[in-house]
Amino acid sequence: MPIIDVEGLTYIYAKGTPYARKALNQVSLSIDQGEFIGVVGANGSGKSTLVQHFNGLLQPTKGRVTVCGRDTSSKEYRNSLWRKVGMVFQFPEQQLFAETVAQDVAYGLKNLGLSQDEINRRVPFALEQVGLDPTEVADLSPLVLSGGMRRRVALATVLAMQPEILVLDEPTAGLDAVGREVILQIIKDLQQERNTTVIMVSHSLRELIPLVDRLVVLNRGKVAACGTPGEVLGCNPLQNLKGIGLPDYLRLICELKERGVQFENPVTTFQDAEQALEKLIKESVR
Amino acid sequence: MKGPKFGQYIIGDTAVNRLDPRTKIIACFIIIFSTLIIYKWPVILVNILIIAAAIHLAGIQPKLVLKSIWRLWLLLLLTLIFQSLLTEGKVILSLGSLTVTQEGVTLGISTILRLVILLLTSCLLTSTTSTIQLAAGMEAVFAPLRFLKIPVNQFSMVISIALRFIPDIIQEAETLTKAQKSRGAPLNSPKVLERIKGYFAVLIPLLANSLQRAEDLAMAMESRCYTGGASRSRLSVLCFKRNDYLVLVLLCIMLLFALVVR
């Protein structure tokens, strides 16, 4: 049974007013336990709106969202979903508020009602998980840390709660290359070691392709494509993904395909492209 | 987001929208002034007529207007009750030691109407005038205060910046509320104290981010060589048109009428 099931989900902002705007239109989708799902789409395609349904922050205007087997139409259930579904918002470092890093990480744990012993165990663990040294940062104010480190602290505040499902909204936006790598590695490890279901929203196909099991492509509130990276890129690559910006290497492959070059294997990752091009060059030399 | 409210600026091209902001500000002053100092029925009725006409011309749905009045029902009801009970005059109903007087009821109704006039006037101004226009209008209307050494330009800049950032801050507060809810902040808790504590987690980062934003804005303005002062020119110069004169003349007549009635 899928852990998240979305059926005919439509969401309208400011319904019944002159400002009404349809953010999602008849979206259906199901996500299995332990899957890593990437959600891509242009600005305003409804990515953030979609994922906010997963932890009960939004209620469908029409349609149904089921999380862990229960319908989120019940208000009581929606208000308790934060215990199961961890949500990392865009620029999460802006939500830090406590005096020290440790207190901020402990905030969610206190709300969960955990014992002080358990909290004392989990806080340093979560900080280590995101690559920070607990003895060094735990008693600092979040404000003195660099942007990249604050982002990691914010991630730790959610990871410490050990959610069954982790939703991340553009977790790497505005980070440098190293910061991006670190964050992505943490997320991937979490999914593989703890079998956490991960849903990650991103602009960048390039960073999602090597990570995800399946990609969901949103376009103007509708699912434009859904499947493994190979399926999504293989089926109808350019038309569907125009608003998103393919990585350079995929653009090159597409250009070549358009000019009549045949590739035996589907090309999704950078390594695939490297191999395919190498082969192509060797063949043409011969 | 709970849909638009009356008083929120709506982009439009109606006769009221097109009026010069100075006209609208002065007109509001006249209406508010006459409502505040004069209790007479004719003045109240004329003011209501003027506002009704303006609302109609601005193309605002009556439903929105009624909703915004309805939001004040408690205040209005209490006004009516206290005015009826506490005014001396001809007794029309007595409940033990409490007496309702005819004068009281009349005064209560007129006070309600006057409160409604004040509410609608200001809402009408802000819903038909963009913040930029509003600030420009304020600056022009208060320009004479410069002679009293009051830095009118700076005040107008402060006001327009404040107005400009309100929607941003509201949006940020919404995002922060969602983020803290996702960490289990007890914002829906039945215990009031818990709820207040929960909102600290929203307010502190909101304040911190606003200060940061203010600092960034100051830096951005400085790096574009902003210096306040009267010598600053505007992109769009205000200018009175025929309708503006018409409105001002009408309202001056109304004001004279009000003063005479008094």
Condensed to tens digits (0 to 9), the pLDDT of residues B57-77 reads: 988 888 888 888 888 889 999
**Burial class, A267, CB count within 10 angstroms (exposed 0-12 / middle 13-18 / buried 19+):** buried
Kindly state the DSSP code that residue A8 receives in the 8-state scheme: E
Does B233 contact A at CB distance below 8 Å?
A: no
Torsion of CA B112, B118, B122, B125, to 10 degrees: 100
- pLDDT tens track for B5-30: 677 787 778 888 888 999 999 999 99
Please state, in angstroms and rounded to a whole number, the distance separating the CA atoms of residues B67 and B83.
24
Residue B239, pLDDT above cutoff 90: no
Query: Do A217 and A225 meet the contact criterion of CB atoms below 8 Å apart?
Result: yes
Measure the CA angle with vertex B141, ends B139 and B146; round to 5°.
65
- How sure is the predictor about A45, in pLDDT bands with cuts at 50, 70 and 90? confident
Query: Do A8 and A73 meet the contact criterion of CB atoms below 8 Å apart?
Result: no
Q: Give the other-Cβ count within 10 Å of A220's Cβ.
A: 15
**pLDDT at position B85:** 84
**ipTM value of the model?**
0.85
Q: Whole-number mean pLDDT of chain A?
A: 88
Best to test chain B binding among A13, A82, A94 (most B CBs inside 10 Å): A94
- Scan residues 9-28 of A and list those with Cβ closer than 8 Å to B: 13-19
Instruction: Tell if the CB–CB gap between B201 and A107 is shorter than 8 Å.
Output: yes
- pLDDT tens track for B35-45: 988 888 888 99
Closest CA to B128 of B64, B72, B173: B64
Among B181, B200, B201, select the one facing A82 at the smallest CB separation. B181
Among B179, B188, B200, select the one facing A95 at the smallest CB separation. B179
Please name every residue paired with B100 in a beta bridge, in sequence order, or none if there are none: B93
Among A18, A90, A92, select the one facing B4 at the smallest CB separation. A18
Contacts of B30 (CB under 8 A, 6+ apart): B251, B252, B254, B255
Contacts of B97 (CB under 8 A, 6+ apart): none
Closest CA to B85 of B66, B65, B101: B101
Order across the sheet with A85-88: list the strands.
A85-88, A165-169, A197-202, A36-41, A214-219, A222-227
Instruction: Tell if the CB–CB gap between A97 and B201 is shorter than 8 Å.
Output: yes
**pLDDT at position B72:** 87
**In A213-286, where does DSSP find H-type helix?**
229-235, 237-241, 248-258, 270-285
The chain A residue lying nearest B207, using CA atoms, is: A97
**pLDDT at position A225:** 85
Query: Do A244 and A40 meet the contact criterion of CB atoms below 8 Å apart?
Result: yes
- Residues of chain B found within 8 Å of residue A82, distances taken between Cβ atoms: 181-184
Please state, in angstroms and rounded to a whole number, the distance separating the CA atoms of residues A198 and B81.
59
- How sure is the predictor about A37, in pLDDT bands with cuts at 50, 70 and 90? very high
Percent residues over pLDDT 70 in chain B: 97
Across the range B175-201, mean pLDDT stands at 88
Here the tokens at position A83 are: 């215990």
Instruction: Tell if the CB–CB gap between B184 and A18 is shorter than 8 Å.
Output: no
Please state, in angstroms and rounded to a whole number, the distance separating the CA atoms of residues A111 and B7.
38
Rounded to a whole number, what is the distance in Å from the CA of B201 to chain A's nearest CA? Answer: 6
The chain A residue lying nearest B186, using CA atoms, is: A111
The single residue listed with the structure tokens 């980062």 is: B205
Phi, psi of B93 (to 5 degrees): -160, 135
Please state, in angstroms and rounded to a whole number, the distance separating the CA atoms of residues B119 and B107.
18
**pLDDT at position B190:** 83
- Residues of chain A found within 8 Å of residue B185, distances taken between Cβ atoms: 111
Closest CA to B127 of B59, B52, B29: B59
Does A83 contact B at CB distance below 8 Å?
A: yes
Here the tokens at position B12 are: 């439009």
**pLDDT at position B1:** 40
Please state, in angstroms and rounded to a whole number, the distance separating the CA atoms of residues A111 and A124.
18
